[in-house]
Amino acid sequence: MISLKSLANYLITGGAGFIGSHLVHALVERGDQVRVLDNFETGLRKNLDAVRDRIDLREADLADADAVRSACEGIDYVLHEGALPSVPRSVKEPRPSHATNINGTFNVLEGARLEGVKRVVCAASSSAYGNQPGFPRVETMAPQPLSPYAVQKLTGELYMQAYWRVYGLETVCLRYFNIFGARQVPDSPYSGVMARFTLMMMQGERPTIFGDGEQGRDFTHVENVVSANLLAVTAPATLAAGRVFNIACGHRHTLNETFNVLATLLKFPHPPIYGPEREGDVRDSLADITAANTALGYVPQVDFEEGLRRTVAWYREEFAG
């Protein structure tokens, strides 16, 4: 039985998106009050169909400061997932991603501050590390962002830390590493590699690996991210407020390895296509998750291969026929 004392009022920005919708579902199922703010530029209404009658859905843009502040009224905790994602997209079109990822984050912080929100948990990005030497990545490393997107997400981190230091608004930033899972959009040029590979292979098409395929990623199933966010909400301020934490599994898998596992699961008989490396892409990623474990109690619940099995099963059901 859920204790009424444990229930709270949450605002999830980008709540119709891939990660945001998983957070919405988890909180609704737990019995919390959930408000969603989304402009549906990248989020999908169908991601919220199953819980639509149990949430307060507000369609607005993060650039609308008044709408954002209004959405923060009566809220205990903000989970800030709203963003214009994708490194390649930010390289091609830096201005719109800047407006959403920097100005939008500022509006969230101001709204939260003015409305007395207890804590803001922000989706940050491992792209902040860039291609500097040294693995695994540790939060104390100096950032070396390679793309506008990475700069924007890093700027969001700095704003979060400043609002903690200056205004006492508790903030926690979670640097996500290569998140994948159900509901990730598979049919966009900016889609994550797992989603894109899975759908193409299901359709009998050979996916393209940019580079030699030996670049490694700390692939992290979305259920691990949900767990990390919920832990970040309740972690003691003395351990978590104003800090940045890596959220990953602490293991690296190459794109070639990923392709081979997916090919086995999908019984796909063809090799991939190899193309040139993409501008702004980070060559490798591998996280040290010690800090998140110590401060938040974070332990990955879904490993790489189990995550792939769950993801493939969802795409098979979603795109059957």
Backbone CA torsion sign across 144, 150, 151, 157? negative
Distance in angstroms between the alpha carbons of the first and the last residue of the chain:
40
What are the φ/ψ torsions at residue 302 (nearest 5 degrees)?
Answer: -125, 120
Beta bridge partners of 20: none
Show the tokens assigned to 300: 């990955």
Catalytic site residue from 149, 159, 163, 315: 149
What are the φ/ψ torsions at residue 194 (nearest 5 degrees)?
Answer: -60, -50
- The strand ranges marked E within the chain are 9-13, 33-38, 56-59, 77-80, 119-125, 170-176, 179-180, 208-210, 216-217, 220-221, 243-247, 253-254, 273-275
Omega before residue 136 within 30° of 0, cis: yes
Catalytic residue check, 298: no
Furthest-apart CA pair in the chain: how many Å? Answer: 57
Of 163, 165, 179, 200, give the one whose Cα is nearest residue 315. 200
What are the φ/ψ torsions at residue 78 (nearest 5 degrees)?
Answer: -110, 130
**Residues with catalytic roles:** 149
